[in-house]
Structure 1
Amino acid sequence: MRNRTVFLLVSYVSIIFFWGSSFPAIRFALHSYTPESLALFRLLIASSFLVIIAIVLRIGLPNMRDVPMLVLLGCLGFSAYHLFLNKGETTVGGGIASLLVSTTPIFSLVLERLYLKRKMGVSKWLGSFISFLGIAFFSLSYHSQSYSISGTVFILLASFSESLYFVFQTRYLKQYGMFAFITYMIWGGTIGMLWFFPRLLTEIEVASFSSTLAVMYLGVFSSVLPYLALAYINLKVGASEATTSLYLIPIVAVILSGIWLDEKITLLSVGGGIITFLGLFLIHGKQQMSRAKDNINF
């Protein structure tokens, strides 16, 4: 039980930090790369990294009957998500982008209720609303961000496609195991983006070294590691619980944007962070207290 708690904690921290850092990294990389090339380059780096590990660990290929669904999930969770997010961040600042992506847990709750017939308590719905409100305060205090209706739509599409991926991955995640499944997903997502390869080659030649370095960071630290962590959490506690950690990502995104891109943090953002944590307590508090009671009784 203690080891599981430690692994869950490390997984949550990895997701929050590495995905939080991805928002300023994307904004920075877009100085040299188009959204399509950035998405493909990031996935190519992640896929190459996973090929090496898969060879070392002797990860086999999936069953042929599962390949169409695996490719579809890969395109939803990786191709579509990264492409839409990159397009959105060309006109929407990191604070707003991270806020909009944080609708993923809400989409996941609705999808689980509609398609998996899972009952969601009032505390989860209320906690989701309060956390989302806190993130709105936090992200809207990010004074240097830009705003665009089209960019907002693109990021919401990214959030919805990622929610579909989270909710419908469970069967295959259990079947193939965490590492093999994520490997198949990233490979499938990369295949879905290969038609942008000629454009990528052209852009690499003129891109700045710092932008390329940011893409390399995105490819390994913001693509492979958080998805592995999220898959582990999803396997242990469910999709909606796993994606709830996304509520804290805007906090990290704004802080790192302030450090990296010299963007200011206001007092309003501190209040937003407090509200966000209150919402998270409502979502998780009852379950954690129940577990603590069970441990005491044991």
Structure 2
Amino acid sequence: MSRAYIMAFITVIVWGTAFTAIRASLHGGYSPGHLMLLRHVIASAAFILYAMWPGVKFKLPKRQDLLKILILGWIGISVYHLGVGYGEVTISAGTAGLLIGSSPIFTAIIAVIFSKERLDRNGWVGLFIGFVGIALITVGSSGSSFEISTGALLLIMAAIATSIYFVFQKPLFKRYSPIEVTAYVTWAGTLPFFFYMPGIIDTIQQATLEANLSVIFLGIFPSAIGYVTWTIALSLGKASSISSILYIEPIIAIIVSWLWLQEVPSSLALLGGMISILGVLVVNGLIKRKKKKPVSIVT
């Protein structure tokens, strides 16, 4: 197995556990805002320590890249994690994993709009299948056959945000290392979370031990290590091939949620997840460039 696939597999493991750790933190006394603030302060501190480590050469971003880094950080870190954090207040970890697992559907749409890529008839069929799956997950997450929950909509927003982030970060790899790119966007994305600074000390003191340990885990592993390993994987291999590994992330999320919190998605949500993944596979197999070259689909 190549280094790119090893890095991607590590990413899938730590990101798959993140949904359950978020739920554990929320159950243990954290609000979504305080959770995201502390999680990303920990991740940012880890990157600062790395950048200051003796012998490490860490380039500062160029002036012309600052605005792009800020926007990517706000979309890929701030918007994404707020969507996941507030979404998981009412949505189980496994169902959250299924909804985030639909992000390649939105990536395909972004590729069509902003890149020189096109969908043939079968590709549009794949998108339709994917959206049917997303609709079933959304309805199944509400516990009602005719209701769409706010939490599910927030998670869909997060899926769109992470798709935008992974598509538009690619050009930065030409000038910076994967860990530098990850550090920049993490620092940028952490800034809006300081809005939740009031009351953070009281929350830490009143939260359960499990919740505090979960936040530390989220800051070090999914937020720092997971983003670095995924960025390394993208920089080493073809995005269309590497991203296929992320299809097993919802499965890991469901298993960890069941073992840790005894949560299981509804049958309708599970059915929607399978249909959504089918749509993703169809789309990734049938998107083409105008010059008939393989497309790079990122999730």
TM range (shorter): 0.7 to 0.9
Equivalent residue letter for 1:108: T
RMSD over aligned Cα atoms? 3.4
Match of 1:43 in 2: 40
State the Cα distance separating 1:152 from its structure 2 match: 1.2
Query: 1:246/1:125 Cα in 2 relative to 1: closer, same or farther (>3 Å)?
Result: farther
Equivalent residue letter for 1:254: I
Deviates more, 1:86-95 or 1:200-209: 200-209
State the Cα distance separating 1:200 from its structure 2 match: 1.9
Unmatched tracts of structure 2, length 5 or more: 287-299
* 1:143-178 deviation line (CA, Å, top 9, x unaligned): 999x86211111111111111111111111322121
State the Cα distance separating 1:139 from its structure 2 match: 10
Work out whether residues 43 and 219 of structure 1, in 8 Å CA contact, stay in contact via their aligned partners in 2: yes
Percent sequence identity is 32
Deviates more, 1:167-176 or 1:112-121: 112-121
Match of 1:193 in 2: 193
Work out whether residues 102 and 277 of structure 2, in 8 Å CA contact, stay in contact via their aligned partners in 1: no
Match of 2:252 in 1: 252
Match of 1:95 in 2: 94
Q: For 2:206 and 2:4, locate their aligned partners in 1 and report how far apart those are by CA, in whole Å.
A: 42
Match of 1:232 in 2: 232
Give the 3-state SS of the residue equivalent to 2:117 in structure 1: coil
* 1:37-71 deviation line (CA, Å, top 9, x unaligned): 11111111111111111112231211123212211
Q: For 1:201 and 1:271, locate their aligned partners in 2 and report how far apart those are by CA, in whole Å.
A: 42
State the Cα distance separating 1:119 from its structure 2 match: 3.8
1:61 counterpart = 2:57: no
Q: Decide which structure has greater helix share.
A: 1
Work out whether residues 139 and 254 of structure 1, in 8 Å CA contact, stay in contact via their aligned partners in 2: no
State the Cα distance separating 1:80 from its structure 2 match: 1.0
Q: For 1:250 and 1:277, locate their aligned partners in 2 and report how far apart those are by CA, in whole Å.
A: 10
* 1:82-106 deviation line (CA, Å, top 9, x unaligned): 1111100001112221121122111
Query: TM-score, structure 1 length as denominator?
Result: 0.80
Match of 1:293 in 2: none
Match of 1:74 in 2: 73
Query: TM-score, structure 2 length as denominator?
Result: 0.79
* 1:223-263 deviation line (CA, Å, top 9, x unaligned): 12221222233334555555443322111111111111123
Aligned pairs for 1:116-195 within 5 A? 116-119=115-118, 149-195=149-195
Match of 2:25 in 1: 29
Work out whether residues 105 and 246 of structure 1, in 8 Å CA contact, stay in contact via their aligned partners in 2: no
Query: 1:170/1:86 Cα in 2 relative to 1: closer, same or farther (>3 Å)?
Result: same
Equivalent residue letter for 2:11: I
Match of 1:110 in 2: 109
Q: For 2:283 and 2:8, locate their aligned partners in 1 and report how far apart those are by CA, in whole Å.
A: 15
Match of 2:16 in 1: 20
Equivalent residue letter for 1:207: A
Q: For 1:137 and 1:157, locate their aligned partners in 2 and report how far apart those are by CA, in whole Å.
A: 16
- 1:11 pairs with 7, 14, 18, which one? 7
Work out whether residues 80 and 162 of structure 2, in 8 Å CA contact, stay in contact via their aligned partners in 1: yes
